[in-house]
Amino acid sequence: MKINSIQTHNNYKNNKAVPTFGRALTETEKPECAKSCKEALDVLGVKNLSLILHGSSFPAGNRDFYIGSFFNDKAKELNSFVSMFGFNSIQLGPNGLISRKDVSPYGGQAFSQNYLFTDLNKLSTDAYANIVDEKTLDSFKNTKELGDETNFQKAFDAYDNVMYSAYRSLNHKSKNGDKKAIKLKSEFEQYKSNSDSWLETDALYDTLKTRVYNNKSIKHWSDLDKNLVMHINNPDSLSHKEAKKRTSELKEQYKPDIELFKFKQFIYDKQLKDFNKENSAKIDLIGDALVGFSEADVWGNPSAFLDGYALGCPGGGPNNSHQVWNIPVVDPKKLFDKNGKLLEGGKLIERKFEHILKNAKTVRIDHAIGLLDPWIYEKSSIRKEQDGSIFTNGQNVSNLPHLDPEKNYSKVIDKIILPLLDKYKVDKNDVVWEDLGAQTDLFKHKYYKELKLPGIKNLKWAQAEKTDPRNWWLVGSHDNPPLSFDIDSRYVKYVRPEENGGHPSNEAFKPLYLAGFLYPSWSNEQRHPVVLDIRHDPRERLKYKFVEMLANGKNIQVSFMDFFGLNKVYNYMGTQDSRNWKLRLTSQFDKDYYNTLESRSKDKIALNMPELLSAALKSKLSWAELKKDSSEDEKQKMKDLISKLTHFSQILYEKS
């Protein structure tokens, strides 16, 4: 990479000479760097700069229990670190409870949270009545070198053992008069009494699955247990009394297991609330509302779902065939009654989103199409071809009037989601609306024209000049490979002077477009070095796409893989790859970041934010000079900021 290429094209007069130092930022310099980055983002008009970092990908705390946590002390350090470079939020993944057999965060439950994200180290402190001793924690921690991958199975083992020990200790200590334990036990009892019915239902489901059926899926359960909630909720059912009796017996026989499940949820809830109070970096957390529901959610809310159907996608599967996600479908007829009042399906969606908005600044809405005109298929219709292609009888709900005669799905966003956003004072334009996928005419009309909602735009395939600035912009997400993998990718490699007459097949990376759009007031001679960089160096091409985004976007997301310069993939999109969801930051993430920048490695590309912001400000200044719409004071402020940011960017590149 031509490291200084972006920052040395200073096309304005009197640029101050900037000294360089052979070290990373000192503690006294960090506040000035943070101030400069924030001022730059304000001048550029960037409202939201969010780091995409799922819970498991955070670094481990002072003990490594095989998974990251956004609650622990290292998370606080990370928040301070990324805020120094201008990030004001972190986009988490879905935080619902996952299982040992499916560790994807997008297969988690809607209400019960993933207790693997809690910080077990805190259980040995006074705030938690010292209910776990240091020796117990040490016996379950990872004693090998701290790695950059989650081991979900070992994490489950460690957490389940420590939580079991903590729960027993809490009961023992509180019975023996320990004041701190009595206080914590009281908080636990209060949590249970304040919780909605989901806690009891999910606890019963978990007990059946783990204790009675040895983690087998619901299809292996007895007919009574499969339909237990349905029979209990229907007094006219012939199995109503039998189901009530069965439930009472289960609660009595497995009371410790049910209480332990609730205890894990209590610890998660307590730590999340404490973290939000103590988060000194004031980084906002963006929740992720997955479009689907889990087996547990269907079991606990059986009347809300459409039997025999699942949610998927008409393309993008093997050989661009159908994608069969096996996601349960809320019954359209159970969303609203004829007067618009919420029925059980509508109430369930409302509760799910409210569950997230209570503890997040805003939310990412996964697969918005699935909330308005979902593509669904009969599960019995799946057909696999010899070449691996998958086909079903799938259709969008708008084409299935017998299932949705009142077009109820087309009302979900404006009748359920938008009122909830208003209730929690969340601007709809701050929501990360994931509008990607096969869009129907109904969706386009309702979503864009009537509701006027923004979406997500990946600038790897788009020019900022032609992109709605209300959208959330990114150059790669958690579903894309890191920048180091993009160097040799098709859409980047095609940008070569000897191919296509110097024009890329992907218009987003066209050298003359990027140089001209970013620096319109410069002469051709001034822009020539930029054009050459973009043409000849794929690293520079990628860096200039981030400059383009920062110079023109309002809401921006950056993958943690790209910011920290990782050369491993977090999720191989559309696959069931065993490597998916495992990548995480090490406990020395800051040193790793500095080393990646300083080493100028050929197989890693970390983002030097001061450098990118400096180049983006030069673009802003160039446009100001062209339009003549900025005062001399405003232009001087930009020049001063460029000088400061160049100073910090050079420090980050120096050997320490």
**270-325 confidence digits (pLDDT tens):** 999 998 888 767 789 999 999 999 999 999 999 999 999 999 999 988 899 999 99
* Predicted local distance difference test score (pLDDT) of residue 505: 60
Give the CA angle between residues 364, 66, 70 to the nearest 5°.
35
Mean pLDDT across the stretch 328-347? 97
Q: Please, which residues have CB within 8 angstroms of residue 420's CB and are 6 or more apart in sequence?
A: 350, 353, 354, 357
Beta strands in 385-451 (DSSP E): 390-391, 395-396, 432-433
Q: Are strands 375-378 and 383-384 parallel, antiparallel or unpaired?
A: unpaired
Q: Which residue segment(s) compose the domain that 630 sits in?
A: 1-54+456-571+587-656
Mean pLDDT across the stretch 206-217? 95
Closest CA to 163 of 265, 61, 94: 265
Q: 9-23, 469-483, 563-577, 607-621: which range is least confident on average?
A: 9-23
112, part of any domain: no
Mean pLDDT across the stretch 435-439? 90
Distance CA 517, CA 463 (A): 10
533, part of any domain: yes
Q: How many domains does the chain have?
A: 2
Mean pLDDT across the stretch 462-477? 94
Do 603 and 477 lie in one domain? The reply is yes
65, part of any domain: no
DSSP classification of residue 227: T
- Spell out the long-range contacts of 458-461 with Cβ–Cβ below 8 A and sequence spacing 24 or more: 459/508, 459/545, 459/548, 459/549, 460/486, 460/491, 460/506, 460/508, 460/545, 461/491, 461/506, 461/508
Q: Tokens for 123?
A: 């259980």
Q: How confident is the model at residue 146 (pLDDT cuts 50, 70, 90)?
A: low
Do 529 and 482 lie in one domain? The reply is yes
Do 370 and 461 lie in one domain? The reply is no
Mean pLDDT across the stretch 147-172? 96
* Predicted local distance difference test score (pLDDT) of residue 395: 97
Do 323 and 388 lie in one domain? The reply is yes
User: DSSP string spanning 154-207?
Assistant: HHHHHHHHHHHHHHHHHHHHHHTT-HHHHHHHHHHHHHHHHS-HHHHHHHHHHH
Q: Are strands 48-52 and 555-559 parallel, antiparallel or unpaired?
A: parallel
Q: Tokens for 175?
A: 């019975």
Mean pLDDT across the stretch 620-637? 94
Do 382 and 473 lie in one domain? The reply is no
pLDDT in tens, 46-68: 999 999 999 999 999 889 999 99
Q: Which of 409, 438, 467 is the last residue of a domain?
A: 438
Does the pLDDT of residue 640 top 60, yes or no? yes
* Predicted local distance difference test score (pLDDT) of residue 507: 84
Q: Are strands 323-330 and 305-313 parallel, antiparallel or unpaired?
A: antiparallel
Q: Please, which residues have CB within 8 angstroms of residue 372's CB and are 6 or more apart in sequence?
A: 409, 410, 412, 413, 442, 443, 446, 447
The predicted model scores a pTM of 0.93
408, part of any domain: yes
Do 416 and 479 lie in one domain? The reply is no
275, part of any domain: no
Mean pLDDT across the stretch 98-121? 95
Distance CA 566, CA 604 (A): 6
Do 594 and 472 lie in one domain? The reply is yes
* Predicted local distance difference test score (pLDDT) of residue 18: 42
Task: Tokens 């993939």: give the residue.
Answer: 569
Distance CA 23, CA 414 (A): 53
Average pLDDT taken over every residue of the chain: 91
Q: How confident is the model at residue 6 (pLDDT cuts 50, 70, 90)?
A: low
* Predicted local distance difference test score (pLDDT) of residue 490: 65
Closest CA to 292 of 205, 229, 217, 352: 352
Q: How confident is the model at residue 17 (pLDDT cuts 50, 70, 90)?
A: very low
Q: Which amino acid, one-letter code, is at 340?
A: G
Mean pLDDT across the stretch 167-190? 97
Better-scored residue on pLDDT, 28 or 10: 28
Q: 70-79, 128-137, 334-343: which range is least confident on average?
A: 70-79
105, part of any domain: no
* Predicted local distance difference test score (pLDDT) of residue 19: 39
Q: Which of 411, 438, 465 is the last residue of a domain?
A: 438
381, part of any domain: yes
Does the pLDDT of residue 4 top 90, yes or no? no
189, part of any domain: no
